[in-house]
Structure 1
């Protein structure tokens, strides 16, 4: 069935008002070639869409991943589904309802559309992970959220969809990575192992470029059922990341160092909400070979974290509370 508003099949964005989803919608709206017809762009949402979306012609499709019956008909006229919605909290019931059951219901409702799912490298579990290529590491999720997202991946891959696994995502809208790292730096102003741990990072705008490129391009047989790491190909040290964050956001940088095990002991006391896996993500090697997706799409990854942070600092300064001056 074709879209009523366009000769081209529609793109349905699930999670289009969230951190990654908003960036993807902006990418799709902003990259239409001159003279090309407007994309029939739809966003599945429980609530009204922001004005900047509706004024650009984005259409809201009512639906809720936690209510599978509400998804009936959401795939009518849709050629591509971009599934960018995940629950990342610690409630196992919500993890299952949103990530696993919700994804399966969405797949059923949107057949036979192409399906892309943004998952996470956290499905690999505890590190260290050093330069691992896709398919070379068996997933071993260390949290209910990651386990449920792995089950969602399996359903998408069985459907013949594409799965993207970014590691740490930063940029406007980030409520997890940079905020958590800053809390750690403020509460525990000490480097772990001199900050030598290397991690794969990707800016949300760069991730959106990849998702948008998959939405616009024709898929090959090799894409169907494929997993791609999506990060900047060059990993960065946590000392470099932490120093740039401190400089940009007015936080004193650490001036001492501890072995990682001792750092965890201190962090677990001073920041009890921090999980051991989160601590490992910030203090141990977690970087992944990530050139394949850029080569596949013919995209240049961009200049990396320093430049990406520079353009994101205004948002972080506005949305993150500044430390109190003693």
Structure 2
């Protein structure tokens, strides 16, 4: 009887171990599925970019840098501009951040007080680090509607007074990848295993996507990044909840990592822009972006006195 009881206890123990493994396997599978779902980003909010006047007769659709969304660290502004002569952006200063101008149609001519000038055409990019000071003009180079995007990227305190710098890339120098009905122009960062050519002061992802109908792409975005997408044409479904967003609308990404974009019966063109937040105070007064009110006041004095980075500013015509 003792031997029988011992054998019976072994059988019961084996059954319990087996069931335990079943429960464990099921738990692991469930937790794995939950983990994948929690890594996928949703959509935090959608903002319509309302057209407004800017510069000298220019029209812009501003989705970041308005009353609805003052900034999205490290991004300060996104303008979708459309400008025909004689309108434009005549001489004006900058300090403490970067401007990224990406032409979609037409051309823009750029001149600054350091005698740097050039023209960027369709698909070309200018990444200007204003640093301690730039005074420049940006004017349409063709007698038509000249259309593009201008993004303002903040600089950390340690780099706000760095020397100004330009990177200008022709459209042909910006890598493009096509895969399964999705085309991406890799302006900054990485997509579909392709790296951008531009060097950035802060870690940034800037991608220009074109989607055919019934296409899908999952973009890896580091979990610490803030990010947004802006729809230029058509409409697409975004994030784990497949939020439908149409042209001239910006959407802020929720927390997570992977971000899914897909189309059904519409094509779409959009930019996806993400970056690591700087996490410092932002004090902005027009074209000057610093960390404190005192620094802004000093910047105004420097500009008025043409010193500390603005030497020669008053002679620029």
Scaled by the length of structure 1, what TM-score is found?
A: 0.23
Report which of the two has the higher share of strand. 2
**Greater C-alpha radius of gyration:** 2
Scaled by the length of structure 2, what TM-score is found?
A: 0.23
